[in-house]
Amino acid sequence: MSARRSASARHLFASLRYNGLGIIAAFLFLAPLAWSVLVSFKPSVEARQPPLPPWPVGGFSVQSYENLAKYGAGIWTYTGNSLTVALATVVASVVVSLLAGYGFSRFHFPFKNVLFVLIISTVMIPFQSILTPLFLILTKLGLQNTLTGIVLVYVTLQLPFSIFMMRNAFDAVPKEIEDAARVDGASIFAVLYRIMLPLVLPGVVTVAIFAFLASWNEFLAALILLTDQNKYTLPVLMAAVRSGQFGTIDWGAVQSGVTLMMAPCLVLFLGLQRYYIRGLTAGAVK
């Protein structure tokens, strides 16, 4: 009995230790996010004061959000620009990487491996070093200072990782599943849409999430390639809010913008996180 009690006590101590470390780590990650949200609901005067306590002492207020809405062309204009750019980048990245990944995984053509390595090697090129050529190319094409040009730049930067991700996803699916569908008379696109797409859906979701986060939070390219204030995205707006007016900074408005930019990312990740733990071939077994 004593040995059993000792083993039970050790198990309880280990469980408390791991759970305690997990709670501490979660607190360290969530505390800055909670602080930003709470400060965004403070009145402007209170938001300039020392950060403790983090909650609004004088009551919750939406004054900071109202102040943020008055910047430039309005917060909804910049939010619409960011959503347009992010969603277009996601759609283009998913479609192109899905087709390219399927082609690299299933088809044989000359210099396939060389071309794939060449695509992946572009990841090693610093983005800042090609901003000037990108600016000149978009100017020649008449796409400089347009949301379309920004989307093309983001898609180009996102494709190497996306193609690599989708090729690995297709490689993980047994070829026998595809061969069985082809024997039944399914065309290539039918196999890709009806058979392969559900099996590589976790990879598609991963590509979509990375593309959304990268385009939603990107600042430098939008700052350089966009010159019309009405076409700015949220990161550029936040840089203007952070710089302040006449040497003063509205910290409440800054944290309100941080909260607005953070919300879609959290919703997207929490809504799609179940795809990360689902097996690639679970649907085929069923």
245 bridge partner residues: 248
Same domain, 27 and 78: no
Same domain, 90 and 196: yes
Same domain, 84 and 182: yes
Q: What is the distance between the alpha carbons of residues 265 and 154, in angstroms, rounded to a whole number?
A: 17
> Which DSSP letter does residue 192 get?
I
Same domain, 71 and 201: yes
Which residues lie below 8 Å from residue 163, measured CB to CB, with a gap of 6+?
Answer: 96, 97, 100, 101, 104, 116, 119, 120
Domain end point (choices 33, 64, 95): 64
pLDDT in tens, 59-93: 777 777 887 887 777 788 888 999 999 999 999 99
pTM of the model: 0.82
Which residues lie below 8 Å from residue 63, measured CB to CB, with a gap of 6+?
Answer: 43, 44, 252
Task: Find the length of the chain.
Answer: 286
Domain that holds residue 9: 2-64
Same domain, 119 and 220: yes
Same domain, 153 and 20: no
pLDDT in tens, 149-189: 999 999 999 999 899 888 988 888 888 887 787 777 777 78
Same domain, 18 and 112: no
- Give whole-number Cα distances, 68 to 51, 73, 101, 115, 258, in Å: 20, 11, 42, 47, 11
Is residue 286 over pLDDT 60? no
Q: What is the distance between the alpha carbons of residues 228 and 236, in angstroms, rounded to a whole number?
A: 11
pLDDT above 90 covers what percent of the chain? Answer: 12
Domain end point (choices 31, 64, 97): 64
Tally of structural domains, the chain: 2
- What is the H or E stretch that residue 208 is in? helix 201-217
Same domain, 78 and 200: yes
Q: What is the distance between the alpha carbons of residues 254 and 201, in angstroms, rounded to a whole number?
A: 37
Same domain, 52 and 125: no
Domain end point (choices 10, 34, 64): 64
CATH number of the domain at 71, please: 1.10.3720.10
Is residue 11 over pLDDT 80? no
Q: Looking at residue 48, what is its pLDDT?
A: 67
pLDDT in tens, 207-253: 898 899 999 988 888 888 888 888 888 888 888 777 666 556 777 78
Q: What is the distance between the alpha carbons of residues 162 and 160, in angstroms, rounded to a whole number?
A: 5
